[in-house]
Amino acid sequence: MKALYLKEIRSFLSSIIGYVSIAIFLIFNSLFLWVFSYETNVLDGGTADLYTFFGMSPIIFLILIPAITMKSFAEEKRTGTIELLFTRPMTDLSIIMAKYLAGVTLVFVSLLPTLVYYYTVHQLGDPVGIVDDGATITSYIGLFLVGACLVAVGIFTSSITSNQFVALIISAFLGWFLFLGLDLLAVFSQFGGLDLLFRNLGIMEHYRSIQRGVIDTRDILYFLSFITVFIALTKLVLQSRKW
């Protein structure tokens, strides 16, 4: 598993997709946080916080993570190397986890440079350091967990097709629906008692909960369960090739 994990990391970093994805993530956030004269601009807002960053990043992830994960299994199917991959002395789950963890690692790497944003806001505060460190830390944890969930979705959609771009589109739509769509359905208040269910099934509700500065075990359990479900679905799809 370790060898495949490292191979996937090298594959990301040896292609332009990995670097471009990280660069786009950082450039978009930097422009909206520091350059554009808009309500998202930290300098114009006059408050020492990263609320804008933590609000925008999941939206950017909805496109960038599918772009990172789209080739995970789709490319293997297209080139016919998937059968060779599964002849390795590894379980299906180990193969899936190697690819999944490689995607999660790339998400983690993309978040590391954004610590510069935190340092900048920390120094800009009046007085210096007025930023809410607790809420910032939990928001980073929540953002990482959102990314981990979207990687699981991307790995799953890549397993159901041999076309990378189809995987990209399905992953982007499914990620949007699970992150924002279910929350929007609840906001419409057209489903009676199901509104609360839709809200709790959506990623947004649990991300907002963690952003408040308190890590609730129910939210952590939700994220872990979400990831587990999509890993299990991926395993089911790949096992169907043997039927």
Of 68, 50, 30, 94, nearest in space to 147 by CA: 68
What is the pLDDT, as a whole number, of residue 48?
61
- 10-residue mean pLDDT series, the chain (243 residues): 83 78 87 74 67 89 91 84 78 91 93 90 70 86 96 96 92 95 77 76 93 89 97 92 57
What is the pLDDT, as a whole number, of residue 121?
82
Sorted by where each begins, the domain ranges of the chain are: 2-236
pTM of the complete model: 0.91
Distance from C-alpha of 45 to C-alpha of 40, rounded to nearest angstrom: 7
